[in-house]
Structure 1
Amino acid sequence: MLKRDIARYKRKPGPLIQVLHRAQEIFGYLPPEVQYFVAKELNVPLSQVYGVVTFYNFFRTEPVAKHVINVCMGTACHVKGAESILKAISEELGIKVGETTKDKFFTLSTARCFGACGLAPVIMINEDVFGKLTPEKVKEVLREYRKQKETEEKEGQREVAG
């Protein structure tokens, strides 16, 4: 599947970042063997692939949970209380930045800026953006995701039993 996507992107200028995004969609992260494959297929040095993967914070080299929480730590978010948001998430989930919950449901991360300064403070959970947060509101958001997980698990149990 990735090989087919690479063939499509090869025709465009500067395909590396697009290919890496696609690879991460497929595999969930970019382990060394995937980076090597991309380098070989695009005929670029492995050091270039590794450099791009480690430079941009949206690429991951380790497996992550189903939901990746990114807390914006840019200037506007910092001024509006990003530290208290990060602390609330950490306390609610019992993890620190870079860690994953035991149930592999959440991974906590930070980023410099999402470009949503008017909504500060901001977090992203996967592709969903949540703004104008308070510690209480962010805990509510996390609880909603947990409810979603419980619902999915119950439906899965019904299908197995059914």
Structure 2
Amino acid sequence: MAAISNSIFSPATAARFDYLVTIYPVQRSALVPMLLYAQDDIGYVSDEVVAEIAKRLDLLELDVRNVLSYYSMLRTKPAGKYNVQVCTNISCMLRGGFELLDHCKHKLGIGHKGVTEDGLFSLEEVECIGACCWAPAVQVNYDFHENLTPAKIDQVLEDYAAGRGTDVK
């Protein structure tokens, strides 16, 4: 692992990266976890994030970008404070997932991968969040909300906007 003197990451994230490279038999295997933790720390995977992770893992920046472009959960642009992911996979689709997505688009005034002007919400359509039994489901950051209707998602969005969401700190 390359030594990094001026990390762009928080001390906790930098320490986590130092640990990650020790638990995999091949240093490169830490790339996806590092990208996810970096996204949590910085908010998205910027050019600076790519450069530092490449240096930490002794990779080319192109190698990092190739992995970054493959995974849809990794963002190269800032998301809103609350990233609303609406599942439209088969179970959710059959129980109103597309209608819920359209409702969120209208309610928030943004489309897929959009961010509200105030930066509070971003919206994306996702394939599956693993909540098929409780469809239709939405994930806001790391919190699941299930058995949703337009009225229920309105309440979820209002709660986050007011600072009452379940992962609001």
TM-score (norm 1): 0.85
Amino acid at match of 1:64: A
1:46 Cα shift? 2.2
Corresponding residue of 1:68: 83
Q: Percent identity?
A: 30
The match for 2:70 among 25, 41, 55 is 55
1:47 Cα shift? 2.5
Give the alignment of 1:1-162 within 5 angstroms.
Answer: 1=11, 2-13=13-24, 14-148=29-163
Amino acid at match of 1:92: K
Long gaps (5+) in structure 1: 150-162
Amino acid at match of 1:41: R
1:131 Cα shift? 0.7
| Paired residue secondary structure (1:68) | strand
Amino acid at match of 1:26: D
1:72 Cα shift? 0.9
If each structure's helix is expressed as a fraction of its own residues, which one has the higher value? 1
1:132 Cα shift? 0.9
- Looking at structure 1, the residues matched to 87 and 63 of structure 2 have their Cα atoms a distance apart, in angstroms, of 27
8 Å contact from structure 1 (residues 82, 121) kept in 2:
yes
8 Å contact from structure 1 (residues 6, 42) kept in 2:
no
- Looking at structure 1, the residues matched to 51 and 138 of structure 2 have their Cα atoms a distance apart, in angstroms, of 32
Long gaps (5+) in structure 2: 1-10, 165-169
Q: Stretches of 4+ moved more than 3 A in 1?
A: none
- Looking at structure 2, the residues matched to 122 and 52 of structure 1 have their Cα atoms a distance apart, in angstroms, of 28
| Paired residue secondary structure (1:11) | helix
Equivalences, count:
149
TM-score (norm 2): 0.82
Corresponding residue of 1:156: none
- Looking at structure 1, the residues matched to 79 and 129 of structure 2 have their Cα atoms a distance apart, in angstroms, of 20
Q: CA RMSD in A?
A: 1.5
- Looking at structure 1, the residues matched to 63 and 87 of structure 2 have their Cα atoms a distance apart, in angstroms, of 27
Amino acid at match of 1:10: V
